[in-house]
Amino acid sequence: MKAGLLFTGSGPILILTSFESLSDPNLVQKLALKGIKKFIAYEIPEGLVRQKYGQHFNIILGDLKQTDDLRILDYDGHHAFYSFSFKEMGDPVYHETILS
């Protein structure tokens, strides 16, 4: 399980996914289907996210199924952004869909 803080055009969101990485092409495709075609993502340690989000984390994780491998844990950009320090974030993953 991966947790990621994604900076998108509409603001930060915190996601949970069963994909192996935040750059996995299948995850990128799922995000694109939701209108997210350009982002900067930072992996956040799952244990830290679990600690900060408590029961809400468990509810969202319990709803994550093999056929539905992407969940938004927090779409309140202000809250998601200020919940973690930069030191707690992994290396950035950049993605941009080039439209011709």
> Per residue in 33-91, pLDDT tens?
999 999 999 999 999 999 999 988 888 877 665 556 888 999 999 999 999 999 999 99
Boundaries of domain holding 51: 2-96
Predicted local confidence at residue 60, as pLDDT: 83
Instruction: Compute CA 83 distance to the chain's CA centroid, rounded to the nearest angstrom.
Output: 13
Predicted local confidence at residue 97, as pLDDT: 86
Structural domain count, the chain = 1
Is 91 buried (19+), middle (13-18) or exposed (0-12) by CB count in 10 A?
A: exposed
Which residue, among 18, 23, 36, 31, has the nearest Cα to 93 in the 3D structure? 23
Structure tokens at 41: 């993502």
Per the DSSP assignment, residues forming a β-bridge with 12 are 7
Predicted local confidence at residue 58, as pLDDT: 85
Instruction: Read off the DSSP letter of residue 7.
Output: E
Predicted local confidence at residue 67, as pLDDT: 57
Euclidean distance between CA atoms 18 and 31, whole angstroms = 14
